[in-house]
Amino acid sequence: MTLHSFQPTVYYNTLGTAEPVLTIAPGDSVQTTTVDAHGYDANRAQVAASGNPMTGPFFITGAEPGDTLVVHIDELVPNRSYGWSGLLLAPNVVDPDFVPHLPWPNDGRRHLAAWHVDAAAGTATLVEPAVAGGLVVPLAPMLGCFGVAADVGQAISTATSGTHGGNMDYRGFAPGVTVYFPVFVPGALFYLGDGHAVQGAGEIVGTGIEISCDVRFRVDVQKGRHIRWPRSETATHILTAGNARPLDQALQHATTEMARWLQDEYGLHPTHAQTLLGQVVDYEVGNVFDPAYTMICKLDKRWLPQLSQ
């Protein structure tokens, strides 16, 4: 149950079988930092290549292919005041014939909004461009990209996501949440980064308020628990994440994973599980911007049978 303090010096833009930066045991916690999506740290110095550079990978002893890695996000706090975001809707989230009417910058370059993030006050204030009346949004820090080394020896870009997690950009992956990942390689190789101070559903401007963060997480290993897609748990809900395009397919993955969970682990008869889901299930859109979209399937824990321990 060690608390490791880890300061990254190397960052990765793929989730694959890189050399572990630290070996930790089930039950251990790690206090570390993440840089923003462009590779800038707490001092706004670029220390990593752009494109969701990851802190890690962490090797978790005992984790073997076929197991499940448990990650508790215990703390996630922006560690600087400068955040940035996109400022026009992503072309793929609007009607194709509306695309020319987006507020494209005249100079053809990609512009970004600048935000002042005040972690103590819990707010992000739009600095530039100025808008009439100003704009202040409440902080809700989340991890945009995290997960484990992908399957079959792949190294998958941190731009996208899959069964291994990755760039899911779901705002529910926030402090207090537990996330479960399938383990594909010995040690699982856990990576994390791409903190957002705030993000709307879908990440429809292509970013949240991107920022570097201090983060503390805790891991565990569930031997022999086989899951197919990332799962998650909050105080009130269980959740599954499907990552694919189109959104329909992401929803199919998440729904199937939820049905399997209820049927295979909670022991509900398929008719029971499915009749129940039909009347009480909920969905959340993770992202509809990245190469793979993310759909979350959600069930209130009140509907779960008491599991014998």
| Sites for its own copies among residues 231-250 (CB under 8 A) | 244-249
Closer CB to its own copies, 125 or 222, in the complex: 125
Only one residue has tokens 């014998």, namely 308
92 close to 289: Cβ distance less than 8 angstroms:
yes
Give the binding range for its own copies (CB under 8 A) out of 20-28, 58-66, 67-75, 194-202. Answer: 194-202
Smallest gap from Cβ 215 to its own copies, in A, equals: 21
Q: How far apart are CA 260 and CA 266, in angstroms?
A: 9
Q: Is residue 182 classed as helix, strand or coil in its secondary structure?
A: strand
Residue 120 Cα distances to 26, 69, 173, angstroms: 32, 32, 21
Pairing of strands 54-60, 22-24: parallel
Smallest gap from Cβ 247 to its own copies, in A, equals: 4
Restricted to residues 203-232, the positions that interact with its own copies (CB under 8 A) are: 203-209
Q: How far apart are CA 137 and CA 116, in angstroms?
A: 10
Closer CB to its own copies, 20 or 91, in the complex: 91
- For residue 299, give the amino acid letter: L
Burial of 133 (0-12, 13-18, 19+ CB in 10 A): exposed
Closer CB to its own copies, 51 or 187, in the complex: 51
Smallest gap from Cβ 153 to its own copies, in A, equals: 5
Q: How far apart are CA 175 and CA 122, in angstroms?
A: 14
Q: How far apart are CA 87 and CA 97, in angstroms?
A: 19
- Name which position in 6, 201, 225, 266 contacts its own copies (CB under 8 A): 201
Restricted to residues 113-172, the positions that interact with its own copies (CB under 8 A) are: 113, 124, 126, 129, 131-133, 135, 137, 151-157, 159
Restricted to residues 65-124, the positions that interact with its own copies (CB under 8 A) are: 85-104, 113, 124
Binding mask 254-293 for its own copies (x = CB under 8 A): -xx--x--------xxxxx-xxxxxxxxxxxx--x----x
Restricted to residues 33-62, the positions that interact with its own copies (CB under 8 A) are: 51
